[in-house]
């Protein structure tokens, strides 16, 4: 199999982000919260302060490194919640059909009609800011695409010979869904999940920017951007580096998603063989 550029670049960027998040305590130069020192306030990037410092003298590089933890945790976990919800609803709706399909369809349409960020905002408003509510809010609002895809796959797969054979051989509905349908629709689900992770990272940044994410002073890329807003002309490095981190992570996830689609899409696969 030929390795594709988007898959490699995307994979490397995403792996780098995970690596940075995991090794944050070793990679960071200073403690991202405690090591404030007004003597070093608003230093531009230099050999000592790689990404510069903010108005309280905290090292931006260290804060960006720690911020990766929040962004990736939110991105991965909330998208996992979305995938589980979407697959469970879509798969069962497509396989069973009938009134359950109607219910799930109606629900999906409602979810698609409401901008997910606005919906997440509403949930955050009820739950209050913080990492857990962020996970819940983003995990409950972005499953409609996964659901649509799982439903469509289940609809087409359920008439496949092996699914009918499984029925004839006495498999129960749940066993058919898990052993016959799910593995055969995993490709598109993984692709949409990877792309969804990218948008979850962005949503986290947006919600944190609005002050609804991780509580300051703990760093997240979105809240760092938010804090940097007023100094954007005097200290642009405060916005550039967290922004760059968001950009590279989301870019990496999107490239990875595209690359995975090229490999996993049954149509492109049949074209190659």
Partner 1 sequence: MTGTPLIEVEDLRIDLDDGSRRVAAAEGVSFRIDRGETFGLVGESGCGKSITALALIGLLRHPLSIGGGVIRFEGREIQHLSAARQRELRGNRIAMIFQEPMTALNPVSPVGRQIAEMFVLHKGKSWREADQLAVEALASVRVPAPERRVKDYPHQLSGGMRQRVMIAIALACGPDLLIADEPTTALDVTVQAEIIELMRNLCAERGTATLMISHDLGLVANVCRRVAVMYAGRIVEERGSADIFRSPSHPYTQGLVASLPRLGSRAALGRSRLKEIAGVVPAITNFPDGCRFNPRCAQATDICRTRAPETDPLEAGGLVRCHHHA
List interacting residues with partner 1 (CB under 8 A): 160-162, 164-172, 175, 179-180, 183-184, 186
Q: How far is the CB of 157 from partner 1 (least distance, A)?
A: 10
Contact 49, 59 (CB under 8 A): yes
In 40-50, which positions are buried (b, 16+ CB within 10 angstroms) versus exposed (e)?
A: bebbeeeeebe
Q: Whose Cβ is closer to partner 1: residue 167's or residue 231's?
A: 167
C-alpha distances (whole Å) from 155 to each of 59, 160, 163, 177 are 53, 10, 11, 12
Task: Determine the Cα–Cα distance for residues 191 and 52; give it in Å rounded to an integer.
Answer: 37
We find the least distance from the C-beta atom of residue 165 to partner 1, in angstroms, to be: 4
Between residues 117 and 181, which has the closer beta carbon with respect to partner 1? 181
In the bound state with partner 1, the residue whose beta carbon lies nearer, of 171 and 218, is 171
Q: Which long-range contacts (CB under 8 A, 24 or more apart) does 230-238 make?
A: 231/42, 231/54, 231/55, 234/42, 235/42, 235/44, 235/52, 235/54, 235/55, 237/44, 237/45, 237/51, 237/52, 237/60, 238/52, 238/54, 238/60
Nearer to partner 1, 13 or 185 (CB): 185
φ, ψ of residue 115 to 5 degrees: the values are -60, 130
Closest to partner 1 by CB, 54 or 101: 101
Nearer Cβ to partner 1, position 149 or 225?
149
Shortest Å, Cβ 85 to partner 1 = 23
3-state secondary structure of 23: coil
Q: Write down the least CB distance from residue 185 to partner 1, Å.
A: 10
- Give the nearest distance from C-beta 14 to partner 1 in angstroms: 25
In the complex, minimum distance from the CB of residue 193 to partner 1, in angstroms, rounded to a whole number? 18
């Amino acid at each position: 199999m030929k390795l594709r550029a988007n898959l490699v670049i995307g994979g490397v960027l995403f792996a780098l982000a995970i690596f940075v998040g995991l090794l944050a305590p070793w990679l960071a130069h200073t403690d991202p919260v405690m090591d404030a020192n007004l003597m070093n306030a608003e230093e531009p990037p230099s050999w000592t302060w790689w990404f510069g410092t903010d108005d309280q003298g905290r090292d931006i590089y260290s804060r960006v490194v720690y911020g990766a933890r929040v962004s990736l945790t939110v991105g991965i976990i909330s998208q996992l919640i979305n995938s589980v919800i979407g697959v469970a609803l879509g798969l069962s709706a497509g396989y069973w059909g009938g009134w359950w399909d109607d219910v799930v369809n109606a629900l999906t349409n409602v979810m698609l009609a409401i901008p997910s960020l606005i919906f997440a905002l509403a949930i955050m408003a009820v739950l209050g800011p913080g990492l857990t509510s962020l996970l819940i809010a983003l995990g409950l609002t972005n499953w409609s695409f996964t659901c649509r895809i799982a439903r469509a796959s289940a609809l087409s797969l359920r008439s496949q010979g092996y699914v009918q054979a499984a029925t004839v051989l006495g498999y129960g509905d749940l066993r058919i869904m898990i052993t016959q349908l799910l593995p055969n629709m995993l490709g598109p689900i993984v692709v949409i999940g990877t792309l969804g992770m990218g948008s979850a990272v962005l949503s986290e940044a947006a919600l944190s920017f609005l002050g609804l994410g991780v509580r300051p002073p703990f760093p997240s890329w979105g809240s760092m951007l938010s804090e940097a807003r007023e100094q954007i002309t005097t200290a642009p490095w405060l916005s550039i580096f967290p922004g760059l981190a968001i950009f590279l992570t989301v870019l990496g996830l999107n490239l990875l998603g595209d690359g995975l689609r090229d490999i996993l899409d049954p149509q492109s696969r049949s074209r190659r063989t």
